[in-house]
Amino acid sequence: MTKVITAVQRRLLVLMLGCYVLAGLCPAPGEALRALAFRIPVGTAGTAELTLPMALLAVMLFNAGLGVRITDLRVVLRQPWRLTLGIAANALLPVLLLPCVALALRGWPDRAETEGLVVGLLLVLAMPIAGGAVSWGQNAGGNVPLVVAMVLGSTLLSPLTVPLGMQLTGHLVGPYGAGALDDTTTLDTVARTGAGLFALVSVVLPCLAGIAVRTVLGEDRARATLPTVKALNLLNILALCYINASGALGQALAHPDPDLLAAAIALSGAVCCLTFCCGRWLSRWTRCDRPDGISLTFAAGMNNSSAAAVLAAGSFTHRAAVLLPILSYSLLQKLAAGTAGRPPRRPPAVNAAGPGGK
C-alpha cells in the first residue's frame, strides 16, 4: 500500500487536473453531492446544517491531526519567534497583497468579474496554512516539527484570523480603499456570522480530534494506521476537488469566458509566486538556516485552498467566478511548492589547475 500511496502522491497534481476536467464535462453529480446536507440537532436552539463538502473537509483535517506528534513540538516551542513569524506572515500577506491586485484590476471592463476574482483570492489567502506544507516541506529538507507547529498554530487561530483578515482586507479593497469592490456588505456578513464558526467546526475541531485520537491510540498503533489514513485522505482530496469544481467549471464551459479564465489563472499564479517569494525573503532577512528557511517559505506560501473552496461554495453560490481563482490557486501553489522545494543548483566544480587540468 505504501508504494501505491507514494505513486499517487507523485501524480496528485495530474489527478487533480483530471478531477477538474471531469467536473467541467460532467458537473451534475458533483453539484448533487455538493447540495447534500446533514441536519444536526443543536440543543433546544434547532438544527445546524453540515454539507457534504464541509464533512469531507473535516475528515481531511482530522486525518491531518492524526499525523501530528506532540513530542515533536516541544523543541519548536523553545524558540517560539520563528513559529510566530511563520503564522504572522501567513495571516498578514492578504492585507499586503490584495490591495495591489485590486489596483491592477481597476481597468478590467467587467465589474462583476473583478469582484469575483478579488473575493476568491481574498478567501484563499485568509485561510490558515495548508496541511500539505508539511509533506512539501519534508520533501524539500525543511524543519518538519517547525512547519507542523506553524500549520497547527495557524489552524487553531483561524476562528480569529479568518474573519478578521476577511474584514480588514475587504475594507482595503472596498469602495473606500483600492475600489475593487463596490459593496463589502456580503463579505462583512460572512466574516461576522459564518467564517469564524466555519473555521472552528470544519477546521479546528476536526484537527484537535485527530490529535486526541493519536494520543489515545499511542504512537505504535497510530503509526500502523497511517497508510490507511493517507489512502483515505488522498481519495478525500480528489473528491473535494471534483465537488468544489463542479459548479464553477460546469458554468465556465456552459458559458465560455476565456478572458475571465485567463485572468483567474494569471492572478492566482502571480499571487502564489509572491507569497512564496515573501516567505523566502523573510527567511533570508531573519538569517534562518536552510531547514528553518524552507519551513518559513512553505508556511507563507501555502494556504488551505480546500477550506476556501468549501466556504466560497456555501456563501457565494450566486458568484461562480469566486471559485475560479481558488481552484487555480489550489493547483498553482502545488507547482510553486515543487519549484520552491528544489535544492539550489551547485556551481560546477572548477579544477584548481585550470581549464586544462594541469
Q: What is the per-residue pLDDT for 171? A: 83
Whole-number Å distance between alpha carbons of 120 and 118: 5
At residue 327, what is the residue type?
L
pLDDT averaged over the chain? 82
Reported confidence tier of residue 343, pLDDT bands at 50, 70, 90: low
Question: Does residue 331 belong to any structural domain of this protein?
Answer: yes
73-77, 133-137, 305-309, 349-353: range with highest mean pLDDT: 305-309
9, 15 Cβ separation under 8 angstroms: no
**Average pLDDT over every residue of 184-202:** 84
Whole-number Å distance between alpha carbons of 148 and 21: 32
Whole-number Å distance between alpha carbons of 224 and 212: 16
Question: Does residue 1 belong to any structural domain of this protein?
Answer: no
pLDDT digits 0-9 by tens, 143-159: 888 888 999 899 999 99
Q: What is the per-residue pLDDT for 45? A: 53
**Average pLDDT over every residue of 76-93:** 86
pLDDT for 358 beyond 70: no
- Mutual angle of helices 323-340 and 219-254, in 10-degree steps: 130
Query: In terms of C-beta density within 10 A (0-12 exposed, 13-18 middle, 19 or more buried), how is residue 109 classed?
Result: exposed
Question: Containing domain of residue 317, as a range?
Answer: 8-340
Say what the pTM is. 0.84
The separation between CA 356 and the C-alpha centre of its own chain, rounded to angstroms, equals 52
Question: Does residue 233 belong to any structural domain of this protein?
Answer: yes
At residue 337, what is the residue type?
A
Q: Return the CA Rg of the chain.
A: 21
Question: Does residue 58 belong to any structural domain of this protein?
Answer: yes
Q: What is the per-residue pLDDT for 42? A: 57
Q: CA nearest 307: which of 222, 207, 176? A: 207
DSSP per residue, 242-310: HHHHHHHHHHHHHS--HHHHHHHHHHHHHHHHHHHHHHHHHHHHTT--HHHHHHHHHHHH-B-HHHHHH
Question: Does residue 332 belong to any structural domain of this protein?
Answer: yes
Question: Does residue 355 belong to any structural domain of this protein?
Answer: no
Whole-number Å distance between alpha carbons of 2 and 225: 12
The separation between CA 37 and the C-alpha centre of its own chain, rounded to angstroms, equals 23
C-alpha cell, 15: 489527478
C-alpha cell, 130: 495548508
pLDDT for 351 beyond 50: no
**Average pLDDT over every residue of 315-325:** 77
Residue with cell 494520543: 215
pLDDT digits 0-9 by tens, 9-50: 777 888 888 888 898 888 888 888 888 877 766 555 556 677
Reported confidence tier of residue 347, pLDDT bands at 50, 70, 90: very low
Reported confidence tier of residue 341, pLDDT bands at 50, 70, 90: low
Q: What is the per-residue pLDDT for 37? A: 78
Domain count, the chain: 1
Whole-number Å distance between alpha carbons of 17 and 306: 15
Question: Does residue 353 belong to any structural domain of this protein?
Answer: no
The more confidently predicted of residues 176 and 231 is 231
C-alpha cell, 282: 523573510
At residue 168, what is the residue type?
L
Q: What is the per-residue pLDDT for 12? A: 80
CATH assignment at residue 36: 1.20.1530.20
The more confidently predicted of residues 79 and 16 is 16
Q: CA nearest 254: which of 52, 27, 39, 18? A: 27
